[in-house]
Amino acid sequence: MSTVLKVENVSKRYQLGEINRRMLYEELQSRWARWRGKPDPNAPVTGDALDANDKDHLWAVRNVSFDVQHGDVLGVIGHNGSGKSTLLKILSQITAPTSGRVLIKGKVASLLEVGTGFHLELTGRDNVFLNGTFLGMTHREVARQFDEIVAFSGVEDFIDTPVKRYSSGMRVRLAFAVAAHLEAQILIIDEVLAVGDAAFQQKCIGKMSEVAQGGRTVLFVSHNAAAVENLCTRGVVMNKGELVFSGTQTEAIAYYSASTAIKTKCLRDRDDRSGSGEVRIVAMELRDPSGRLRHNVNAGDDIDLWLYFENNGKRAFPRLNVKLNVTTHLGAPVFTQSNLLAGESFRELPSKGAFVCRIPRLPLPAAVYRISYIVNSEYRRGEKIDAISNALELPVENGKFFPSGEVPAIQAGVCLVPAEWRMESAPMPVQLTAAGVP
């Protein structure tokens, strides 16, 4: 395969604090030099000794190098602030690198800021052509795909209405529909699959899968592990502006998961908690129904989550709500549970004790999940008393959830749903017989 994208020692440095006249002059001077193909007179030294003492600048991307081959679908993974979006803006030529270079072979289209450039006073029809032009499409290209774009967005009945009368969801859906129909050899996508409602999100994922399978080169940033696993063929991991891993998408997800693994299950000394602290969760454990401590469980097991607490006893919380949020290791929500949601009230608390949440027949496929907790005085808008994100890891292995013994992989979905199947001898539905089907 031929190389269509080559990144060589790319770095991007940002000025911290207020920008004065001298800084603006240097920036314009640097841009003029780069435009003429001349050396940047203000190019910074990127040595570690200088960087360690440089308190006025932030290196959003540092010395990143990789190649992308024609037809690759590359997933870019990393926590917030790791430099993913800055890297994609450099590759999209929205911002220039401070040092290094990017070689691109082919037309590039970017889905970075869905809806950028929409004019509220114009109709949806006008904004389709306007936004398509902003994204690099010609008027003829937009016109050729106009009906398909509108059908994909689902706003056919309102296409000649000013978008100021659209709901926020309708505007986002129309904007994504335009961006999703870009015709380019290289497509750069930054976390845009979370737009609209659940049905439209599935349509977005389906469209991205169609693009990926069509032989085009795609760079894709997402916190949705299942989407990265399904859509991508390769993966890279970013951390603090540096590229720390490159491999297959499965290897990249595993590396990221291991690098961000929770190091301890003892919560007493965690300094990242929030809340008033009148009731504090000091430890969490995973046990089976017989009380045995477990470090991992099987799909379909009954499990107990023990949250050990300390109560200072100064006041009562008649509507205390202990809430658990379960996510994938990349942060995608899986499910939530709480005592008030389950109809259980905790009234007078002892000075020490444990809240126990039993989850029967754990409906999760094999993967490593994260559990966060929040203790509130009420279910929805009550005072936050104690909360820690990523308080406990939940490693799940394959088990006998279904009678067949087979458990789908997490790529098929993050939840296992029991069902009963049967076959009936029955006549055709009325709507089919009315259409002439016997």
pLDDT digits (tens, 9 = 90+) for 336-361: 999 999 999 887 888 899 999 999 99
CB 274, CB 376: distance < 8 Å: no
Which amino acid is it at 158?
A: F
SS3 39: coil
Q: What are the residue ranges spanned by the domains of the chain?
A: 3-11+63-259, 279-412
What pLDDT, on a 0 to 100 scale, did the predictor assign at position 186? Answer: 84
pLDDT at residue number 281: 93
Q: Indicate the CATH number for domain 3-11+63-259.
A: 3.40.50.300
How much of the chain exceeds pLDDT 70, in percent? Answer: 83
* φ and ψ at residue 41, rounded to 5 degrees: -70, -15
What's the mean pLDDT in 270-279? 88
pLDDT tops 80 at residue 206: no
Q: Which residues contact 269 (CB under 8 A, 6 or more apart)?
A: none
Q: 182 or 250, which is more confident? A: 250
Q: Does pLDDT of 47 surpass 50?
A: no
Please state, in angstroms and rounded to a whole number, the distance separating the CA atoms of residues 324 and 338.
6
Distance CA 175, CA 161 (A): 15
Helices assigned H by DSSP within 181-271: 198-213, 225-231, 249-259
Cα–Cα distance between 162 and 175 in angstroms, integer? 14
| Fold designation for 279-412 | Coagulation Factor XIII; Chain A, domain 1 (2.70.50)
The stretch 232-257 carries a mean pLDDT of: 87
Determine the average pLDDT of the residues in 39-62: 62
Residue 355 pLDDT: 94
The listed range with the strongest mean pLDDT (79-93, 253-267, 386-400) is 386-400
Burial of 282: CB neighbours in 10 Å, binned 0-12, 13-18, 19+? middle
pLDDT digits (tens, 9 = 90+) for 362-411: 999 888 889 999 999 887 778 899 999 989 988 888 888 888 888 887 76
Concatenating the DSSP letter of every residue in 346-384 gives --SPPSEEEEEEEESS----SEEEEEEEEEESSSSSPPE
Low-confidence winner among 59-73, 114-128, 196-210, 417-431 (lowest mean pLDDT):
196-210
How high is the pLDDT of residue 229?
76
